[in-house]
Chain A
Amino acid sequence: MTVATERVEVRPPATGDPAPRKKGSALSRFWPQYLAISPFYLLFAVFGLFPILFSLFISFHDWDGVGKMTWVGLSQYVYLVGDPRFWNAVGNTFIIWFLSTVPMLFLALLLAFTLHQNIRFKGLYRVAFFLPNVTSMVAMAIVFGSVFSDSFGLVNSALTALHLDSVPWLTSDWGIKVTISVMVIWRWTGYNAIIFLAGLQAISEDVYDAAKVDGAPAWRIFSQITMPLLRPVILFAVITSTIGGLGLFTEPQVLLGDAGGPNEAGMTMVLYQYNQAFTNFDFGYGSAIGWALFIISGVFAIINWRLISERNENGRFSMRRTRVHH
């Protein structure tokens, strides 16, 4: 954990002579710098900025990607607002996000606190916890599909062996959502635990020592020092899991196919977009869904941000929450 104080703003114009004021000479004087940063901006212009505007344009059309584009105005959006399949996908996405994020954050905190103790083989454990995160989700979705398979899966075999009823994991509404959530939890818990651990390790011993000198009881140190100092890291985890959760695609697509399984119970927002644009070849509607996703994610991100920063101001919501869990 190097401390950020290294970043003192000493940046003399390393190019040398005092900059001439003439604007016209900027390009000729600084052409190597502009050239050096240009690849990103060129790629962004072509594959980032232009597609955004273009997708807005497409969303006002009826287009299969090959034939003629027909201007339809806002009717794709009107259709979207009344499309039960779309709202089903939105609901599914949020349910899966909630089912996976809450246990994941709790388990990750628990793991981080335990790893923070003086235990042996810490390096080895960290590798094991991180492994799920770097592994291809296609391969692992296939593995989970077999583990949770309705008739022959490992989980149902275990349940049967224990004389319990087997669960239709891949054919029932909730079974599907739970299975997908389990995959997400499996993949991200270790990752977040390692980030939380780094956050714990970054807290200076001096802070604790000062608190101890002041005679603060241990629970107070935990709630007023450890958790507040950990909050930025928790915020980071919430934001990344929100981005990942709302963009969920690989897990349901590999596990259940393009249609999201029986009753579309595993249809997520991005899977629905893919389904409409690339299996139905409805590019106009696919683009409209893309914009709807953008707006929904934006609103959700702002809500998330507001909630967490408000908690930040008036004290200790998130620490209280974590304490309850322990």
Chain B
Amino acid sequence: MFTTEPAKTVFQPPRRSGVVKSSEHPRAKKVVGIVVTQVVVILGVLLSIFPFYWLVVMSTNTTAAIFGFPPTLTFGSHLFANIANVFANIDLLRALLNTLIVSLACAVLVMFFDSLAAFTFAKYKFPLQKPLFALLLVTFMIPAQLSLVPNFVIMAHLGWVGSLQALIVPGAANAFGIFLLRQLATGAIPDELIESARMDGAGFFRTYWTVAIPLLRGGLAFLGIFTFIGAWNDYVWPLIVLVNPQQQTLQVALSQLNSVYGTDYGMVMAGALMSVLPLIGVFLIGSRHFIANIAAGAVKG
């Protein structure tokens, strides 16, 4: 973004089209433009992060203080008391552990199966390759809600209702990741490298492991974080299939805490805070890479 005029001015005309005649004061207009820009962006940032600030405010105050008039707008000192209340009412550690297991398992399995399929589709020719890939794209169009009821019945027959594999297994491979990594693999893995691996006597899976995986690292990291976040936040399916109150994910446990103890805002908010903090951590670690990938995917797709 070091280039100067053209790109920046392009979108401004509409905004200032009403004052086109006053072009005798380009500098003044420029200053106004910069101020307006900054105000818009900073307002956007404030609105984006305000609910997080408010979440912290509420989880550090007593319910009475939150509900007072005027309400408390600053951090209080009741965070630990509120957290202790959460632990007294629900098995938050268990829910956290369950969520961690499901999210990690989904992320690792998706990274493995999707990259394997993506590498194969990108670099090998085999009978039925094209129709199989087309089928993969068609599956994008099937809405998840169509299979909520039958999948519950399937899980019941498998004896998986109430257990974590009901969350892990169906999500162990997906069309999105295969599609994404295939795009990447086509350009990122030179055919010569595959050829020379073959000359060295490496079989298909060895080539995948030693040649493809290292070259797909960036895409894999993105897919892993993306899957982890998605699994962490998944709500409707765990709500349906985890029927045992003792065996919950964070989102479902939090929702139950809210519906049962909804009047104790301080405590519920402390629970909510603990459910979002780990995820925000994961996001912040990979944020630059993550955002760039999301944006690039949308622009190319």
Contact = CB atoms under 8 A, between A and B. Distances in A.
Contacts of A203: 7
B159 interface: no
A226 B288 CA distance: 25
Contact of B299 (A39, A157, A195): A195
Interface string A1-34: 1101011001111111001000100100010111
Given A11-B125, A37-B117, A139-B275, A46 B8 contact: no
Interface in A70-125: 107, 110-111, 113-119, 122-123, 125
A194 interface: yes
A318 interface: no
B42 to A, nearest CB: 9
B235 interface: yes
Contact of B66 (A146, A190, A254, A326): A146
A51 to B, nearest CB: 4
Contacts of B75: none
A293 interface: yes
A41 B196 CA distance: 30
A134 B251 CA distance: 14
Contact of B187 (A1, A6, A250): A6
B97 interface: no
B170 A47 contact: yes
B287 A10 contact: no
Nearest to B17: A219
A224 B130 CA distance: 37
Interface string B29-48: 00001101110110011011
A248 B290 CA distance: 24
A84 B51 CA distance: 36
Given A48-B147, A131-B283, A290-B146, A138 B136 contact: no
A293 B143 contact: yes
A128 B48 contact: yes
A174 interface: no
A143 interface: yes
14 contacts: A1-B296, A23-B127, A40-B173, A51-B146, A130-B290, A131-B280, A134-B279, A154-B54, A193-B44, A219-B17, A221-B10, A233-B298, A254-B255, A290-B148
Interface of A: 1-2, 4, 6-7, 10-16, 19, 23, 26, 30, 32-34, 36-37, 39-41, 43-44, 46-48, 50-52, 54-55, 58, 65, 107, 110-111, 113-119, 122-123, 125-132, 134-140, 142-144, 146-147, 152, 154, 157, 160-161, 186, 189-191, 193-195, 197-203, 205, 208-209, 212, 217-219, 221-223, 225-226, 232-233, 236-237, 243, 247, 249-250, 253-254, 257, 270, 273-274, 277-278, 283, 286-287, 290-291, 293-294, 297, 323, 326
Interface of B: 1, 3-4, 6-15, 17, 33-34, 36-38, 40-41, 44-45, 47-49, 51-52, 54-55, 58, 66-67, 69-71, 113-114, 116-117, 119-127, 132, 135-136, 139, 142-154, 156, 169-170, 172-175, 178, 183, 186-187, 191, 194-195, 198, 203-205, 208, 229, 232-233, 235-236, 239-240, 250-251, 254-255, 258-259, 265, 268-269, 272-273, 275-276, 279-280, 283-284, 287-288, 290-291, 294-296, 298-301
Given A130-B287, A130-B290, A270-B145, 12 more contacts: A37-B116, A41-B132, A43-B172, A47-B169, A55-B147, A114-B36, A114-B37, A130-B283, A136-B235, A138-B233, A221-B13, A243-B143
